[in-house]
Amino acid sequence: MEAVGHKEAYRYVEELVQQKVPLSEKVIKDIHSLVLMDNREDRGVYRRVPVTIMGAVHTPPQPYLLPVRMEELILKYQEMSLLHAVERVTQFHLEFEAIHPFIDGNGRTGRLLLNLELMKAGYPPINIKFGDRKRYYDCFTSYHINGEDSSDMVSLVGEYLEEALLKYVEIVKGANEISNGSGIT
């Protein structure tokens, strides 16, 4: 069910990109609802209990603060319009994960939101590989230890974007070769 939920959430993200839907609390909760489709009680609902994140250097806010913190996050994101899209989206991702608004599915939801906003900015989606998990989590630690400096995560996301864009260029080159007759044997 987890894989099905993720697939449905990704399809929803693609629809949001096509319709250029602005990021909102509703969008976040809708994506989470699809990610957690097998958990009827918790999907799309902010957590009702305090949490700690294993290995994290900060503690997420108490449950009663979540609605206000999420509202502030969305407003701050809208106000960051002068930043480069990758920096802006990365900053949002780091702060979303720090708030950790849901009891489960925060990482999956956060990465889908990251891709939603990258795609709306004209970038391809990225997939943070399992082999890079430690580096990915280290970016969160660095963010909190270094005064909310997002540069490590910006570098990671930038590398994945570069890799994805190079793949697209290769696909386009291959398609051009085929259409020009030089790739047909």
Residues tagged active-site: 100
Considering only CA atoms, which of 71, 119, 116, 129 is closest in space to residue 95?
A: 71
Query: DSSP of 68-90, one letter per residue?
Result: HHHHHHHHHHHHTTTS-HHHHHH
Considering only CA atoms, which of 5, 23, 145, 18 is closest in space to residue 81?
A: 23
Please report which residue ranges of 2-84 form alpha helices under DSSP H: 2-19, 25-35, 66-79
Q: How many C-beta neighbours within 10 Å does residue 107 have?
A: 16
3 state DSSP class of 44? coil
The amino acid occupying position 104 is: D
